[in-house]
A and B are shown apart, each in its own frame.
Chain A
Amino acid sequence: MNLKTFTTIKLVAVIIIAAACSLTVSINNYLIALIAVILGSLFVLLMRNRVKEIMADERDYEIGGKAARYAMQIYSWIAVVAMFLLLWQKNLNPSYEPIAYTLAYSTCLLLITYSLMFKYFSKYSLDKKKTLYSVIAVIIFLVILIGGVRLFSGEDDWICSQGQWVKHGNPSFPAPSTECHK
């Protein structure tokens, strides 16, 4: 496959994924959107491996590395400033607090991931792609596991009890707006 064909296929895949996401968001089923994104990305990755032309060379990697470092620094500073501003003004709107903590956690995740990747690449050659993919898969799995446990453990949540929403722990977000029917 040549680069032009791959670019066309990638564009079509992106359009289909975007359409699928829009549709699933409109019907309020985010799981389908998530599956569409994962399957679409895997498909594009599969097609990418079939391209015979050179897609990226040492210059692209060098520029990409510099761009990523600057982007990370800029994002981190913006996130930290925004986080403190939102926490400072949390009394104006209760939703500011979860947004601030989301920014904080995402920045921490970004910095930790960068540190791990930097340490990995400074020790191992870039040729060991299988090891690299395994490391990335483990990191993603750990993030999903920790995030899932944190989000779905039931701690710090609202529980429906006798027709009323009751706090369980210390949820930082307001009670659900839907009616409680237990």
Chain B
Amino acid sequence: MKNRIKEYRVETGMTQEDLAKKAGVRRETIVFLEQGKYNPSLVLANDVAKALKAKIDDIFLLN
């Protein structure tokens, strides 16, 4: 699943560590998410979207 996490993260001026803390996961998970190597659960997707102050649909792009 493609996503725009990095784009939004950079826009909001957050580091991967900051986003990880806000979303309640480890920094490595954010790395894998941004690279599209891991599909998050709905809960995590919601937490990431909330941390980036955006909607899930804007960040995660279903094929």
Contacts and interface: CB of A to CB of B under 8 A. Distances in A.
A54 B32 CA distance: 16
B13 to A, nearest CB: 22
Interface in B26-42: 26, 28-29, 32, 38, 40-41
A57 interface: yes
Where chain A touches its partner, the secondary structure class is loop
Interface residues of B, number: 13
A179 interface: no
B41 A58 contact: yes
Contacts of A57: 24-26, 29, 44
Nearest to B32: A59
B42 to A, nearest CB: 11
Contacts of B26: 54-57, 59-60
Given A59-B29, A59-B32, A54 B38 contact: no
Interface in B45-60: none
Contacts of B24: 54, 57
Contacts of A60: 26, 29
A56 B29 CA distance: 10
A57 B38 CA distance: 13
Interface string A37-58: 0000000000000000011111
A58 B26 CA distance: 9
The 8 closest A-B pairs by CB, nearest first: A57-B25, A59-B29, A57-B26, A57-B29, A54-B26, A58-B41, A59-B38, A58-B44
7 contacts: A54-B26, A57-B29, A58-B44, A59-B29, A59-B32, A59-B38, A60-B26
